[in-house]
Amino acid sequence: MSSITQIISFVAKSTVDFEYLSNAAKAGTKGLQRQFLGIGLEPNARAWLLEWDAETKSGIVDFEKILEPVTSEPIKNVHVAFSESLAPSLAAPVTEILFSKMKPEQDLVAFGKIASVSLQDTIIQPGSLGTSWGYTSEIPKSVVLVVGWENVEAHKNFAKTEFFRISCMPYLEGVTESSVSYYKFQ
């Protein structure tokens, strides 16, 4: 059974009732397997992850309408087929979510190999607890990396190493822009 993970990131202007969000996502839909709400380390940042069964997903949810009472800014809403289970990354004390846009000339297959190698090198680092990546279905040549960490310092320490520079340089050279956020998932 294959799954698709929907990532909805937004800035909350008020408290977010996860039970309300969860019930709203289930209304009139099929195939929702599980969902998680991440509380951002940045003020009011949230990430709502919904895991859908790709074969049985049906129904359309108006997430803009659901989130309207709690956010006044546009939401980011993408679907990703991840390379590995997100469970280890989401269970970590801190989860890094990195959104990247590839260079227009970047070959998708070659970049997929680069992303895989970068994450294979990341998972063996002190403090790394889980990794996964995938392309978004909505935005051409966009990719999402998810890494679970013991803490943000573990990621920052890895990013200062020569090993990081060597193993992640091909990834960084293949993208035009990236944005990273850290969350604690419940």
Which CATH number is associated with domain 3-80? 3.30.70.100
Separation of alpha carbons 178 and 175, rounded Å: 7
Closest CA to 53 of 125, 119, 2: 2
The mean pLDDT value for 43-54 works out to 93
Dihedral angle sign, alpha carbons of residues 66, 58, 148, 159: negative
Q: What is the pLDDT of residue 1?
A: 53
Q: What is the pLDDT of residues 114-128, one digit of tens each?
A: 999 999 999 999 999
pTM of the full structure: 0.93
Tell me the pLDDT tens digit for each residue of 20-30: 899 988 888 88
Domains 3-80 and 87-185 share a fold: yes
The domain locations on the chain are: 3-80, 87-185
List the structure tokens of 123.
């998972």
| Fold exhibited by the domain 87-185 | Alpha-Beta Plaits (3.30.70)
What per-residue confidence (pLDDT) applies to 28?
82
Instruction: Find out whether 154 and 126 touch, Cβ atoms under 8 Å.
Output: yes
Q: Look at the block and give the residue holding tokens 């890494």.
A: 147
HEC string of 43-76 equals: CCEEEEEEEEECCCCECCCCHHHHHCCCCCCCCE
Q: Say what the pLDDT of residue 15 is.
A: 83
Q: Which amino acid is at 25?
A: A
Span 58-63, mean pLDDT? 82
Q: What value does the mean pLDDT of the chain take?
A: 93
Q: Are 95 and 148 in contact (CB under 8 A)?
A: yes
Distance CA 153, CA 137 (A): 32
Read off the pLDDT band of 159 (50, 70, 90).
Answer: very high
